[in-house]
Structures are given as C-alpha cells and as structure tokens.
Amino acid sequence: MSTETNPYRRETLVQQLTSVPTWDLIVIGGGATGLGVALDGISRGYRTLLLERADFAKGTSSRSTKLVHGGVRYLAQGDIGLVREALHERGLLLQNASHLCHNQTFIIPNYNWWGGPFYTLGLKLYDLLAGRLSLGESVHLSKAETLRRLPNLHPAGLRGGVLYHDGQFDDARLAVNLAQTCIDHGGTALNYCAVQGFLKDDQGRLTGVRATDLESGTTHELRAKSVVNATGIFVDEVRRLDEPQISPLVQPSQGVHLVLDRSFLPGDAALMIPSTDDGRVLFAVPWLGHVVLGTTDTPVPAASLEPQAQEAEINFLLRTAAQYLIQAPTRADVLSVFVGLRPLAASTAGSTKIKEISRRHKILASASGLITITGGKWTTYRRMGQDTLDQAIALGQLPPAPSQTEHLPIHGAEAASEATATDSLAHYGSDRAQLQQLIADNPALSQKLDGQLAFRQAEVVWAARYELARTVEDVLARRVRLLFLDAAAAVRAAPTVAALLAQELGHDAAWQTQQVAQFGKLARGYLLLKQ
C-alpha cells in the first residue's frame, strides 16, 4: 500500500472531519462500545464519524481478562437469556475476527465431592445454549487427567475437574482492527480528537459536537443527526456536557491482572476457580506466551485513564494462586500489572428514563437527544452497537436500515488460516504478507524490539503507517502489547520505538526524548518491583 493511497494516514482522516457538512452519526469514544456502534452505523450506510480523545482502547478495552465468553457465573445466577446472547456473540466474534480470537480450553478443578457433578451439569447447559456456535463439548476429567493438563495444580484433595470451552483474544488489537474496519468501509475514525462540547438549536435539540484535534489544537464544529456517547467509564463526564446537573449513571469498579511467565501454567489449558474465599471468580489464562492472572472487583471513587492496583488486590491474587498452584508466584515473578475499570450501573440515574436492553448494557436518551450506552463487555460489543442504532432509529434520529455486522469480517480476518499458530505475525491476518514484505524490503526491521520477546521493529513502522499509532505508548501498550506482557522490557524498547516513530511521523530528537521519558513514567505503574 503506497503512502499516497493509504486511507489510515492521520492527515487524510483529519481532512475528512470537515468534508462532510452533516454526519448521520457521530460516536464519542473509541473503545469496544464506541467501535461497535460506529461499525454498525457504517454497515447500515450512515455517514459515520468516531472521535476518541486518547488512543483506541486506551482505557478499559485494552485491560480485560482477554476472554470472549458467555459468562459461566451468569449461568449460576440463572440469567439464561444473557448467557445465550453472549454465547451467540462469542461464536460470531470467533468467526469474524479469527486471526485474533480462538477456542480456549478451561478446567475447573474440583476439591469437593459435589463439584464434579454440579459443574459438569451446569456446563452441559452452557454448551446447549451455545447451539451451533458451540466451541466444544464440556467433559468431566479424572484426577489424573486434570493433573496431566494442569501439572502445576496442587494434587492434595483434588477429586477431578471439568473441562469446558470459551474464547480468548487480544483486546487492544481487536480495537485497532475495528477502527481499520470502519475506515475500510468508508467511515472516519480518529484518535486524539476530543469532544469538548455540544451544538444545539434554539429548541435545545442536539445538532452536533465541538471537537479539538489535540495534535494541531484546531477546534471543529461538526454537525450530526445523531450523537452517541459511548465513552465507558467516562459517560457521566460527557453527559454533563449536555446536562450539567445529572446524577451519575456509572460507578467504576476495578479489576487487577498480574502477568506471569508461562511456567506457572504449563500446558494449553486455562485454570478457572469459580468461587474464591471471598466469592469472586479467578482465572489463570495463557496469553501471548505468558499467563494472565485475574481478576478483582473493587469499587473506586472516580474514573481514571491509568488506574493503579491496590496492595490488597495484588495480595489477594497472589494468595489465591498459592492455594491452587504448587509453584506459586511471588511479587518478584510479576512481569506486569494492569488494571481495568468496569462501568457498573450506579444506584440512581436521575430523572432520565433508562431503556434496559440487557443486564449488561443500558441505553438512554437525554432531553436534547444525546444517546448514551453504558455497561456491557467485549464479547457483546457488536450487539451493543446494533441495539444503540436501533434506538437511534426508534427515536427518529436516523432513517431505518438493517444492521449488517453479524457476518462482517473484521480487518485482518480473511487470511487468518494461512498463518500458523507459531508465527509471531499470525495475529496480523491478511496484513501479514504486507508486513513480511516490509521486512524483506528493509531487513534491518527484522530486529527484535527486545531479545526476550518476538516483537520486531517492522511492527512499529507498520503501526505508525497503517494502525493509527501516534506515540510510544500507543505502540508498546496497544499495538505490540509489550507493556502488558513485560513492563521492564517495554522500558528497554522505548528508545528504539521512539526513534522509529520519529522517522515515520516527522518528529525531532526532542520529541523522542520527551516520549521516552513520558513512557518510562507510565510504565512504572505496571511494575511491582520499581526500577
């Protein structure tokens, strides 16, 4: 792809801001929810613009437990409809983004006499609800088979296990590919462009947004027929731009994850503990050659782009892991710690009537016409987008048109089967051949960013040219995931990444120095043992 015809160039996208007199749809927020809304709008033929004030998936959407799941715990709560919907969406996501999402085997170890029959029966229902999109049959395992599949599991008192299937994925890379998909289909998706106010007519009806390109400082007044607030944990901040006195809609709750070496979970299976000492669910999941251990559920007073783990949360995860693993991780074994905030529903939502689409996502419209969607999870991002646009149509903001996202391939999915699982570039899917050609044209770009991991310099150049990356953090946190896998390695790689980005984006040495310093400060929040 030549630079001249590259549709992902920031200059091209910024020009599109003002090339459309009136957009059909403007979406605020570039996480899972906003990307799902934008792509659904584009699939219906609406002229769609998505604006993100930071980077795509900068917040919660890059900090998940990396699961595409129906929700085993919701099944235990008896919410059959929610589980069925999520399992359907899980199956669609594994089909539409096959280069990033795959079938993952999970094992629930049983240390009680009733555990085997109870979980086997429940997970048989889980399989049944998945229908034709099932990922595989749940089965009861003997003690010997459980230990063969989870060799680091404590054998004392173990009676057996239950094996079931769910999905596993790379959340931030899916977000980047969704932004590319929006652009591929004629939409505009722009990061580092902040909505700072709303435009209204004489009757107080919403007619658009006031947004500032944070790189140039230029402010634009952008007209739209429908505006959707899909900013996750920050929805109340955006709602106050419309109605300053509103009551909070969300209460943030944070989930902490610890990333460990693969030796703590040898084999291909993930570990699922359905009920810890305090009633939480704990996962240990293989991910990109490492293990993600999580998560917690701790209410916090305010939303933040960089939430920090509390000591009690870290200790809880390590203590619980030690109850089940022979080789138990310590603080010294944690390569990275990352925290995501969930937008849980607050106890009150003011006088505005909420339309509840499901227990996991809610949609409301203000008096001016601002549509807000909150809640949900990555697995159901597509359905959330569809429901939001159906609501916009029901309100008369947009002309009726059917959603086309159910079987719409995500950017990169088409050639996923051509790459092997051991290929470090497999997750690029249909972009893989072009990335390999980039390396062939410039062999120096085949060098690794850090000797301990497979990420290559060519991926930085690719991220700058075709994946909308603008900063060292964009690359190391959300394009190659090094910050989330090994924070110390990410710090070592930062100067190389800054130099490559500066060359691609036209920045000077001072910019490089500033970027390395900013990233180093950020990365310290991901290190348990400060360096």
| Whole-angstrom distance, CA of residue 183 vs CA of residue 179 | 6
Asked if residue 75 lies in contact with residue 126, where contact means CB atoms within 8 angstroms, the answer is yes
Residues 163-198: tens digit of each pLDDT: 999 999 999 999 999 999 999 999 999 999 999 999
Q: How confident is the model at residue 65 (pLDDT cuts 50, 70, 90)?
A: very high
Spell out the residues 6+ positions from residue 440 whose beta carbon is closer than 8 angstroms to its own.
none
Helices assigned H by DSSP within 157-307? 171-184, 235-242
Strand ranges for 138-191 from DSSP E = 139-141, 160-169, 188-190
CATH class of this structure's domain 418-526: mainly alpha
| Whole-angstrom distance, CA of residue 431 vs CA of residue 226 | 33
Per domain, the residue ranges of the chain are 10-60+173-249+346-394, 79-168+252-342, 418-526
Task: Tell me the longest C-alpha to C-alpha distance in the chain.
Answer: 73
Token pair 């949900």: residue: 376
Residues 469-489: tens digit of each pLDDT: 999 999 999 999 999 999 999
Task: Note the pLDDT of residue 347.
Answer: 52
Residues 220-229: tens digit of each pLDDT: 999 999 999 9
Q: How far out from the chain centre does Cα 182 lie?
A: 16
For residue 121, pLDDT over 70 is answered with yes
Task: Note the pLDDT of residue 318.
Answer: 96
Asked if residue 308 lies in contact with residue 525, where contact means CB atoms within 8 angstroms, the answer is yes
Q: How confident is the model at residue 264 (pLDDT cuts 50, 70, 90)?
A: very high
| Whole-angstrom distance, CA of residue 489 vs CA of residue 483 | 8
Q: How far is CA 361 from CA 31, 48, 59, 335, 344, in A?
A: 14, 22, 18, 33, 9
Q: How confident is the model at residue 145 (pLDDT cuts 50, 70, 90)?
A: very high
- As a whole number, mean pLDDT of residues 126-137 equals 93
Residues 334-361: tens digit of each pLDDT: 999 999 998 877 654 443 333 333 347 8
Task: Note the pLDDT of residue 350.
Answer: 41
Q: How confident is the model at residue 158 (pLDDT cuts 50, 70, 90)?
A: very high
- As a whole number, mean pLDDT of residues 113-117 equals 79
Q: Could you tell me which residue, 358 or 400, shows the higher pLDDT?
A: 400
For residue 365, pLDDT over 70 is answered with yes
For residue 309, pLDDT over 80 is answered with yes
Of 1.20.120.350, 3.50.50.60, 3.30.950.10, 3.10.560.10, the CATH number of 10-60+173-249+346-394 is 3.50.50.60
Structure tokens at 311: 């000591």
- Judged by average pLDDT, the poorest of 39-53, 341-355, 491-505 is 341-355
Asked if residue 457 lies in contact with residue 503, where contact means CB atoms within 8 angstroms, the answer is no
246, 248, 250, 256: CA torsion to nearest 10: 130
Token pair 């630079």: residue: 3
* Burial of residue 389, with CB atoms counted within 10 A of its CB: 0-12 exposed, 13-18 middle, 19 or more buried: buried
Q: How far is CA 220 from CA 29, 185, 214, 410, in A?
A: 17, 24, 11, 30
Q: What is the pTM of this model?
A: 0.95
CB count within 10 Å of CB 275 equals: 12
Domain range 79-168+252-342, CATH architecture = 2-Layer Sandwich (3.30)
